[in-house]
Structure 1
Amino acid sequence: MDDHRYHDGCIRNIVKEIMRECNAKKIHVNKNFVLFLTQMLLLDPNWGIDENFFQQRENVQCFVKYVIEKIICKQDSVKVVTLRMQFYFTCSIQNLQYIIDITRMDIKNRLKVLHDDILAHDKVDNRQNIDTLYKKIIYYICFLSGLGNPEVFRVFEEVRVALKSIISDEDLKDFANKSKNEKCIQLEYFMKIVSGIRLFNKYCDKGGQGITNLPYLVAQSLDVLKEKSEDSISFIAKKVNLLVIAVKKSYSFQSSYRSYKMCLQNTLRFNESLRLPDIHYMQNLLVFFKQYEMLVKRIEVHLDVIFNRCDSTLNEIEDLMKTIYDTVYMKIGVLAEIVFPLFEKLWLFWEKFQNETFVIARLNEIMIELFAFSKLTGFHKFDITVTPTHESALSIDNVSVNIISFNPEIKVIRNCISQYKLQYLGFCCWMLVETDGGLIPGNTKMGIVKYHGRYYAFSCYEAYYMFYKNPSMYVNGVLELGRRHPELINLFHLQQDLQKCSNTKKLMKAKLEIKNREDKQIETEDSQESYIDPNYKWNVWDLKREVLIQTNLLRCKTLSTQTIKTNSQNNIRTQTYNTEKAVACQTPQDITTQVPKPSVFLHGLRSRKDDKQWKIDLTLFEDDKECLS
C-alpha cells in the first residue's frame, strides 16, 4: 500500500514538472490530461522511473522532454487526438451521476437568494406578511421542481391551492418561527408534496398546468439520439472498411524457412503516390476511427440502459397513480400520514425522469464533441482511392481454411463463435505485431483459438501458423506494442496486463533473421576469337583439284639454276646544313583611355539663411583641358 502511494506521489511530481515546463514555454494543456498520459506511459518500465524518483533525475528529464515534444506539442497528430478523445470520453462517461448532482446544485445555487429570503422571513403577524411568504414559497417550489412558470397565473393559482391544502395559515406561522435547519427540511418536504399533488392532478386531467409530458420527450430524445448514433456508426464503418483495405494492400506476405512475415510493398497496388509516412498515418487513422466506433457503441449501450430505466420508472408511476387514485377516490378526507408519502414517492419517480434528461443532454454533447475530434484528424483532406474489388475487408483470405491444433494449450473452436469475447476486438494479433499496429480483422470462418482462457481470431492460416508456433511471443508482442503506442491501451484494454508485467522490461525477444543459402551452378559460354581462314575451301571439288595437281608434281623434275651477281654495296655520304631561321612577331600596341574625373560643387551650404542652394558641375573633359593648357 505504501509503495502504491509512493508511486502516485511520483506521478504527481512528474506531472507538476511537466506543467512547469509547459507554463515556461507558454503551452496550454489540461493538467488532468497530462496525468492521464503519464499514468499510461509509465506502464513501460523501460523509462527507468520507479519509486527511487529522486535518484533518477536524468530519466525523469528524458520522460518530461518526450511528453512535451512528442505529444503535447503535437496536438493535431492523429495519435494525440486519439489520446485526447479517450481522455475526454473517460472523464465524461464516468461522471454521469456527477452531472446530475452538479445540475441540481446549480439550480439550488440560482435559487439561493430566494431560499435564504424564505428562511429569514420570521414576521407573519399580518395578512400581508403571510401572503408574501406564501408567494415566495410558491415561486421556490415551481422553480426547484421545474413544473411550470409561476409567472403564469394558472400555474401560480394551482400551486397556491396545492400548498394551502397541506399547510394552513397557522402552520405557516409555526414554520416561520422554526430554526433555519428545520425550515430547510420543511421547505424540501413542501416541494415534494405539492409537486406530487400537481402530477396526480395532471394524471386525472384536473390540473397540471405548465407540466410538460416528460416521458414522451425523453422517449423522443432517445429515438433521435439513437438514430444519430446509428448514422455515426454507419459513417465510421465506411471509413474503417476503406482504411482496412488500404492498410491490408500496403503489406504483402514474405515467406522464409518455415516462417512468414509481413513486408511493406515497394509500389502500392491501389495508390502509387503514397509513401511510408502515409501508411503510418492510415494505420493511426484506423486506430482512431475504431476507437471512435467503440465509444459511440458505448453511448448506445447507455441509451439502452436509460430506455430500460425510463420504461421501468414509467410503469412504477402508472402503478403508483392507480394506488393514489384508489386511495383518494370517492373519499371526503384522507389522512395525511397515508396519502402524503404516496405523493412524495410520486415526485421521486418524476425526479428520476428529470435526471435522465440531464444524462441524455450530456450524451448528446459527448456525441458532438467526438465528431469534432474526428475533424481534427484531417481525414477529409487525405485522399485514399481504392479500386473496387470483390475482396472483403473483413478477411485477408477468401478461402475458408479449417485450422487444427495438436497443442493441448491451444484449443480450436468452430461453433457458437459469437458468444465468445475475442481479444483485441477480433483483430489478428499476429498482424498487429507484424505491421506495428495495423488493424486487420480476423476471419472467424476458420475458427477461433482459446489460449490461457482467452479467445483469439486470425486473418489467415499463415497468421495462425505463426501464432501456433509461439503463442506467448505474440501475446507479449501486443503488450510491447501497447508500451510504444499508448493509444492502444484503452482500445484493447491492456492496462491490467501491462501492470502485471510492469517489472519486465523485455516482453518479446528480437527475431533472428535466418539467412537462406542455396548451391547453384552457373555456366558461361566460351568466348573464342573470331578468325576467317583465307585459304578455306568449302567445295569438295576444289580439294580434289588440288590433290590432282600435287599428284602430278610427283612426275616432274627438279632443276637448279644460278644467275650472275648483279648488285653490290656502295658507301654514299650526305651532309646536312643548319636550317634555323630567325622569325619575329609583333603584338598590337597597348592603348589606354582616361575618363574625366567627376567634380561637383554645392554652392550656398554655409553662411546663408535662405534655402537657395544650387549645384555646380566642375567636371573637366579632354577638350576643356586642352583649352586650359
Structure 2
Amino acid sequence: MEEIDDIVTDIAQGCAGKGQRVPKVLAAFIARTILESDPVLFSPEKELSNEGIETLVRMGIARCCQKDDPALETIKMQVTFDSTYVRYEEELAQSNEARANKTKDLIRSIIGVRPKGGTDFETLTALYRQIFSYLQFVSRGQGGLDGKGLSQADPAAVERAVERELAAALESVFPRIGLKSFVLLGAEEKRLQLEELARIVTGIRLFNREQGKGGAGLDHVEDAVATTVSDLREALDAEVAEQHEVCTRYQETLVYCHLRKPDEATAENLERWAQELANRRQYCAYLASLAEDAAASARRVAAQRDAFASEMDELQGMVGGRAAVPKEHVYPKFDAVAAAWFALDEELRVVESRVAVLEELHAFRESYAATLGPHSAVSRQARLEGPPIQDEAAPSPDKPEDKPEEDPEDFDDLPQGDEGGPVRLSVETTPEFMQLPLEYQGFCGWTCANKGGLLLPGKPGLGVVRYRGAHYVFASAEALRDFFKDPEGARQGVVAAATKRPELVHLLRLQDQYPGTSIAKILAAAASKRAASRGGVEGQRTAQGGAAAALLAPPVMKDAACETPLHFVEKNMDPSYEFNEWALRRRALRLAALKKSATTSCQTDASSYRRDNASQVFLPKISSTQTRKESGTQPPLRIQYLQGIRGGANKHLAEVSKVPPLPVGRVELFYEHPFRGSEDQAH
C-alpha cells in the first residue's frame, strides 16, 4: 500500500512541478486507467517492478498534463462533479447531525434535572432557564447552507428582541406553574412535550412576524427558497437547451461525415469531434441530473409553501382581533405552521448545495478549444445537405445514400423468443415499454463499438431489445440487426471502446465492468478515512491519499456461492392449528359451555372412608452367582445324637456320629423316629 501511495504522490508532485495542480484522486484514477488500458505492459497477474513503476509514473504525468484535451477534461469533470456533490452532501449530513446532537444534549440536560420537591424554587428556576435556552436554539432554524441567517440587521438588537419575544411566548404557552407537573412526567413524555413546545413557540413567533408585531431573527425562508429554486431551474433549463443544440450540431456533423465523407472528415478530426461530443454529453447529463434534483425540490417547496400559507390564513381568520382564543384550536395551527417552516428551511440548504455544485460545474463549460463551432464549414454543410437528425441512418460508409431506413414493421424475420437470445420488444407487445431501464443511458452500443466511441442516441421507435435482463436501443435498423447476429460481440465492443477511452466508463455507466476505476469507490473510501481520522486539513489529505491508493490497488476477487433447498421444511408447525372456520366455532362453543359448567361433589355415609388404596413397593433384587462350571455338589452331612437315653439293652449313654448315604443330586436328612426305632433311639 505504501508503494501504491508513493506512485500517486509521485504523479501529483510531477504534475505540480510542471505547473499543473492535480488532486490525488484524479492521479489515482488516471493511473488505474493506464494499467487497464495496457495489460501487456502492466500485467495484472504480476507485481509492478521498479521499471514498471517509473513507466507508470511517467505516463501518468504526461496524461495529466495534457492541454486542450476533451477526453481529459471529461475525466476531470467527472471527478470534480462527483467529489463536489459528495462533499456538499457530507456537509449537510454533518450539519444536521451536529444540530441534532446539540438538541439531544439540551433535552437530556432538561430531563436530568431532579427537583427535591415542589418548594425547590432554585432548581425549578434553573430548569426554566434551560427550557428557554433550548427554545432559543431550536426556534431559529438553520438559515442557509453556511449556517448564517439571511437577515442583515444588528445582531445584538436582534438577540435582545428574540429573547423578549421568546420569554413572552414561553410564559403564555408554558407558565412556571406548569413545571411542577412537568417534572413528574417520564423521560419520553418530557421529550415529546419539549419538541411540541418548540414548534408551538416558533409558530407563535411566525404568526407575530406575519402580523408585523414580532418574529425577530426569523428569516422569510419560504420566499427565499422559492426564489432560489426558481432561479436554479431557469438557469438549468436554459443551459440544458443550449448544450442540447451543441450536441445536436456535433451529432449531425459526425453522421454526415460518416455517410458523405467530405474532405474535412479525416481520422484525426473524427476522433477529436467524437471526444468533444462525449464531453458535451457528459456536461449535459450532469445538468440534467441537477435539473431533476431542482424539480424535486420545487415540488417539495410548493407543497410546504401551500401548507404554510393555508395554515397561516386559517390562523389569521381564527385569531383576528380577538383577545383570547381556545388553545385546543389554535395550538395545532401553530404547530403545523412551524413544521412547514422548518421543512422549508431544510430545503433551502439543499437547494443552495445544488447551486454550489452548478457553480463548480461551470468551470468545465469551456475548458477546451472547440474545433467544431456553429459557423464551421462542415457544420453548415451537414445542416444543409445531411438528413434531419430524427431520420438519420446508421453512420456506415457502406450503406447506400438512397436506401431509406427500414420500417419497424420489417423486423418480423428476426428470431423472437429464443432461449437465452435477444428479443425485440415493441410498444404494442410491452405495456411497460416507456418505463424500461435502458443500458448505456439510451445511447446506441453498436455505434459506440464500431465507430470509435461515437455516441448516438438510440431510437425506441425501432424497438427495445432485451438480452440477458438488460434493454438496448439502437440508432438504426442495421445496428439492431447486427446486434441480433452477435450480441456478445457488440457488448464486448463497447467495453473495448471504453478501455481505449476511459471517459466513457462513467458516461455509459460501465463501472461494473471496471471496478478499479469507480469514482464512487474512491469517494466512499475517502469518506470513511475522514470519518476515522477527523484530523483537520492534513488528516483529510492523508485520507484522500490512502483512498487513492485503495483505488489504484487491484480489486480483490472472491468466489461466492449460495445454496438453497428445493423444498423448504417448515419446522414451526402448530398441531392445534385449524383452518376450518366452523371447527373453530364448535371449539369456541365448547369452551364457552365448559366455562358455564361447574363440577360438584357430596360426601355420604355410604362413601365415607371408602376408597381404593394402592401402594407401590420395590421387590427384592434377585441375586445370582455365575461360575465357570455348572454342576451340583453333595457334601456329607454328619449326624450326631445320643444313644441309650431311654434304657434298653444298652443302658449306658454313648454319643454316636455317622454319615448316612444320600442319593445323587439331592441332599436330605434321614433320622429314625424316636418312637418307632429299635433299640437305638434317635433324637
Task: State TM-score, norm by structure 2.
Answer: 0.55
Q: Distance in 2 between matches of 1:141 and 1:449?
A: 55
Query: Which residue in 1 is equivalent to 2:8?
Result: 15
Q: Does 1:213 align with 2:204?
A: no
Query: Which residue in 2 is equivalent to 1:401?
Result: 406
Query: Which residue in 2 is equivalent to 1:457?
Result: 473
Q: Distance in 1 between matches of 2:2 and 2:332?
A: 50
Report SS of the residue matched to 1:421: coil
1:238 to 208, 233, 245: 245
Asked if the contact 1:428/1:456 (under 8 Å) is kept, the reply is: yes
Query: Which residue in 1 is equivalent to 2:365?
Result: 374
Q: Distance in 2 between matches of 1:489 and 1:232?
A: 24
C-alpha deviations, 1:569-610, integer Å up to 9, x for none?
xxxxxxxxxxxxxxxxxxxxxxxxxxxxxxxxxxxxxxxxxx
- Residue 157 of structure 1 deviates from its aligned partner by 4.4
- Residue 451 of structure 1 deviates from its aligned partner by 1.9
1:413 to 425, 428, 433: 425
Report SS of the residue matched to 2:465: strand
1:89 to 81, 87, 112: 81
C-alpha deviations, 1:1-48, integer Å up to 9, x for none?
xxxxxxx88865643443354456664211233344455666668277
- Residue 412 of structure 1 deviates from its aligned partner by 1.9
Aligned residue type for 1:360: V
Q: Distance in 2 between matches of 1:444 and 1:105?
A: 45
Q: Does 1:427 align with 2:443?
A: yes
CA spacing shift, 1:343–1:38, aligned 2, 3 Å: farther
Query: Which residue in 2 is equivalent to 1:539?
Result: none
Q: Does 1:31 align with 2:24?
A: yes
Q: Does 1:447 align with 2:463?
A: yes
Q: Distance in 2 between matches of 1:313 and 1:290?
A: 35
Aligned residue type for 1:277: E
Report SS of the residue matched to 2:507: helix
Q: Distance in 2 between matches of 1:214 and 1:85?
A: 33
- Residue 463 of structure 1 deviates from its aligned partner by 2.4
Asked if the contact 2:228/2:351 (under 8 Å) is kept, the reply is: yes
1:78 to 45, 63, 70: 70
Q: Distance in 1 between matches of 2:195 and 2:61?
A: 51
Deviates more, 1:139-148 or 1:94-103: 139-148
Query: Which residue in 1 is equivalent to 2:348?
Result: 357
Asked if the contact 1:426/1:442 (under 8 Å) is kept, the reply is: yes
Q: Does 1:473 align with 2:479?
A: no
Q: What is the number of equivalent residue pairs in this alignment?
A: 456
- Residue 106 of structure 1 deviates from its aligned partner by 10
CA spacing shift, 1:467–1:139, aligned 2, 3 Å: closer
Asked if the contact 1:33/1:84 (under 8 Å) is kept, the reply is: yes
Asked if the contact 2:203/2:337 (under 8 Å) is kept, the reply is: yes
Deviates more, 1:58-67 or 1:314-323: 314-323
Q: Which has the higher contact order (CA 8 A, sep 6+)?
A: 2
Aligned residue type for 2:292: V
- Residue 372 of structure 1 deviates from its aligned partner by 2.6
Deviates more, 1:133-142 or 1:28-37: 133-142
- Residue 330 of structure 1 deviates from its aligned partner by 8.0
CA spacing shift, 1:75–1:317, aligned 2, 3 Å: farther
Aligned residue type for 1:411: V
Aligned residue type for 1:64: V
- Residue 494 of structure 1 deviates from its aligned partner by 0.4
CA spacing shift, 1:53–1:160, aligned 2, 3 Å: farther
Q: Distance in 2 between matches of 1:51 and 1:465?
A: 36
Report SS of the residue matched to 1:376: coil
Query: Which residue in 2 is equivalent to 1:491?
Result: 507
Report SS of the residue matched to 2:239: helix
Q: Does 1:64 align with 2:71?
A: no
Report SS of the residue matched to 2:513: helix
Q: Distance in 1 between matches of 2:352 and 2:516?
A: 39
Q: Does 1:302 align with 2:302?
A: no
CA spacing shift, 1:349–1:100, aligned 2, 3 Å: farther
Question: Mind listing any 5+ residue stretches in structure 2 that lack a counterpart?
Answer: 101-120, 123-128, 144-148, 180-191, 394-402, 518-553, 556-683
Q: Distance in 1 between matches of 2:460 and 2:139?
A: 58
C-alpha deviations, 1:126-150, integer Å up to 9, x for none?
xxxxxx9999999877876657655
- Residue 391 of structure 1 deviates from its aligned partner by 1.5
- Residue 469 of structure 1 deviates from its aligned partner by 2.1
Q: Distance in 2 between matches of 1:198 and 1:95?
A: 34
Q: Does 1:100 align with 2:92?
A: yes
CA spacing shift, 1:430–1:316, aligned 2, 3 Å: same
Q: Distance in 2 between matches of 1:419 and 1:333?
A: 52
Deviates more, 1:462-471 or 1:289-298: 462-471
Q: Distance in 2 between matches of 1:79 and 1:445?
A: 31
CA spacing shift, 1:205–1:476, aligned 2, 3 Å: same
Q: Distance in 2 between matches of 1:500 and 1:468?
A: 31
Asked if the contact 2:139/2:199 (under 8 Å) is kept, the reply is: no
CA spacing shift, 1:451–1:137, aligned 2, 3 Å: closer
Report SS of the residue matched to 2:366: helix
Asked if the contact 1:49/1:56 (under 8 Å) is kept, the reply is: no
Aligned residue type for 1:73: C
1:161 to 159, 164, 168: 168
1:229 to 236, 240, 254: 236
Query: Which residue in 2 is equivalent to 1:251?
Result: 258
Asked if the contact 2:142/2:346 (under 8 Å) is kept, the reply is: no
Q: Distance in 2 between matches of 1:197 and 1:91?
A: 41
- Residue 195 of structure 1 deviates from its aligned partner by 3.1
Report SS of the residue matched to 2:352: helix
Aligned residue type for 1:77: D
C-alpha deviations, 1:401-430, integer Å up to 9, x for none?
145354321222232653333322332222
- Residue 278 of structure 1 deviates from its aligned partner by 2.7
Deviates more, 1:434-443 or 1:196-205: 196-205
- Residue 473 of structure 1 deviates from its aligned partner by 0.6
Deviates more, 1:98-107 or 1:74-83: 98-107
Q: Distance in 2 between matches of 1:77 and 1:278?
A: 13
1:280 to 244, 252, 271: 271
Deviates more, 1:9-18 or 1:363-372: 9-18
Q: Distance in 2 between matches of 1:91 and 1:482?
A: 22
Deviates more, 1:387-396 or 1:135-144: 135-144
Report SS of the residue matched to 1:375: coil
- Residue 248 of structure 1 deviates from its aligned partner by 1.4
CA spacing shift, 1:334–1:341, aligned 2, 3 Å: closer
Matches within 5 A, 1:454-603: 454-499=470-515
Asked if the contact 2:422/2:466 (under 8 Å) is kept, the reply is: yes
CA spacing shift, 1:37–1:311, aligned 2, 3 Å: farther
Deviates more, 1:39-48 or 1:95-104: 39-48
CA spacing shift, 1:137–1:80, aligned 2, 3 Å: same
- Residue 493 of structure 1 deviates from its aligned partner by 0.5
Q: Distance in 1 between matches of 2:333 and 2:40?
A: 62
